[in-house]
A and B are shown apart, each in its own frame.
Chain A
Amino acid sequence: MTNEWAPVALVLVSHSRELAEGAARVAGQMAPRVLVVPAGGDDDGGLGTSYGRVEAALREATADGRSAVVLTDLGSAVLTSESVLEMADDELATRVRVADAPFVEGAVAAAVTAHGRADLAAVLASAQAAAASFAPASDASPVAPPAGPPTSPGGDARGDVVLRNPLGLHARPAALIVRMLAPFDASVQVNGVNAASVLDLMKLGAVQGDLLTVTAQGPQASEAVARLVSDVEAGFGEV
């Protein structure tokens, strides 16, 4: 089992044990191959952060050569995480980053990115980009549809498909899309938003019966669009 974990794990440091464990379950469900280790509460199970619990979580997360991104909630969770890293040996510290990111959204985004076996920098960037999900909807920056002749070697592809599953594009199918697309050498958009971002997909608020327009650029653009259209038509196993 251990060898099947993605190379980047997550450590979730919260003042509350329940909050850390709950967020770890949410992220873990959307990215089952990512080791997500919660470190919440103080040593007695009360509210607070525990140096020992964070250190133990970090050791578990970084075992077997894995890297780790640490997500924190407030104040001393950040200080404690940074202190654990300062006390750790240099080799371990080079494999760990503390994300400046919203706790739940960052954990979900990072987990889904890590599931595609992304590297440490990419998982960190994914967590930190989650802060943008708090921008007002009008400020969200959809990926501009490519104008003019295709610039990518493989050209462009496009497909339309109607969303079939009753719950729409909620967290689970959004994560499925991101994970499914990760291996394709293509950049893909759904209704203009980046299909590699689970949060951007969820923010579309697409419901059953909505038309999704899938666009892609890159060497495997056609394959990616065809696969995504087929997954949407299959209803993500929910119909």
Chain B
Amino acid sequence: MTLDAAWAVDWVRRSAATVAEHRDELVELDRQIGDGDHGENLNRGFAAVVAKLDALEQPPATPGDVLRLVATTLMSTVGGAAGPLYGTAYLRASKAGATDALGAAAVVAMLESALEGVVARGKASAGEKTMVDAWTPAVAAAVEAADHGAPPSAVLAAAALGARDGAQATVPLVATKGRASYLGARSAGHMDPGARSSQLLLEAAAEAAADAD
């Protein structure tokens, strides 16, 4: 059981759909503790990715090719910090996904690379109320699932659950990184929008993998 370029394309299309569907929710989350542009920016970015996928003359050969297209497009179309952060995550993931078909270990490597990219670019660590708080438990859950012999789709399902729990756990946190940190204690009580969008994207990956099974 492996995941190929078609899975990655499906992941991207599902990502665009879920970001569009939750656009207003992300805008509202970001308005409470940030500058309110996260939903709009991410929606514009993924719409641009889908447009580029549609315009390709040849289908992408590897998942890595798809993720690199996502990386370059998000970097150039998503403003604020989210563009560089997600762009770097997808770029690092694309290097780990540069084979025809991803097994469980490669899926874990891809997720680990994405997390490393977010951490390196944002210089954030867990507990600071950022995307990292969704990605860290997602990677931990993926590693555990793979260690127990789970196939790629189950590894991604575990990662999505980990991200959901991680995003939920950002609610009581006080932000110490990013725009929300300017609010200090007032940032507590709201879910971090970047953690929420990370959850949505990983859920899209898991759903696309479940469909590919």
- Chain A interface (Cβ < 8 Å from any Cβ of B): 42, 48-52, 75-76, 79-80, 82-84, 86-87
Contact = CB atoms under 8 A, between A and B. Distances in A.
Interface string B71-113: 1100110011101110110010000000000000000000000
Given A83-B75, A87-B72, A87-B75, A76 B121 contact: no
Most A-side CB within 10 Å, residue of B71, B81, B178:
B81
Contact of A51 (B75, B85, B179): B75
A87 B88 CA distance: 9
29 contacts: A42-B79, A48-B79, A48-B80, A50-B79, A51-B75, A51-B84, A51-B87, A52-B76, A75-B178, A75-B179, A76-B80, A76-B81, A76-B83, A79-B81, A79-B84, A79-B85, A79-B122, A80-B75, A80-B83, A80-B84, A82-B84, A83-B75, A83-B84, A83-B87, A83-B121, A84-B75, A86-B88, A86-B91, A87-B91
Given A48-B79, A82-B121, A83-B75, A76 B91 contact: no
A83 B81 contact: no
Contacts of B71: 87
Interface residues of B, number: 17
Contacts of A76: 79-81, 83-84
Contacts of B91: 86-87
Nearest to B74: A51
B80 A83 contact: no
Contacts of A84: 75
Contacts of B76: 50-52
Contacts of B84: 51, 76, 79-80, 82-83
B111 to A, nearest CB: 19
Contacts of A87: 71-72, 75, 87, 91
Nearest to B83: A51
A49 B121 contact: no
Interface string B104-128: 0000000000000000011000000
Given A49-B79, A79-B121, 16 more contacts: A42-B79, A48-B80, A50-B76, A52-B76, A75-B81, A75-B178, A75-B179, A76-B80, A79-B81, A79-B85, A80-B83, A82-B84, A83-B84, A83-B88, A84-B75, A86-B121
Interface of B: 71-72, 75-76, 79-81, 83-85, 87-88, 91, 121-122, 178-179
B182 to A, nearest CB: 10
Query: 9 smallest A-B Cβ distances: which pairs?
Result: A79-B84, A83-B84, A51-B76, A48-B79, A51-B75, A76-B81, A52-B76, A80-B84, A76-B80
Nearest to A52: B76
B112 to A, nearest CB: 17
A83 B71 CA distance: 10
A50 B41 CA distance: 12
A53 to B, nearest CB: 10
A227 B71 CA distance: 55
A51 B71 CA distance: 12
Nearest to B79: A48
B156 to A, nearest CB: 25
A76 B78 CA distance: 11
Nearest to A83: B84
A75 B179 CA distance: 8
A92 B85 CA distance: 21
Contacts of B121: 79, 82-83, 86
A130 B65 CA distance: 43
Contacts of B87: 51, 83, 87
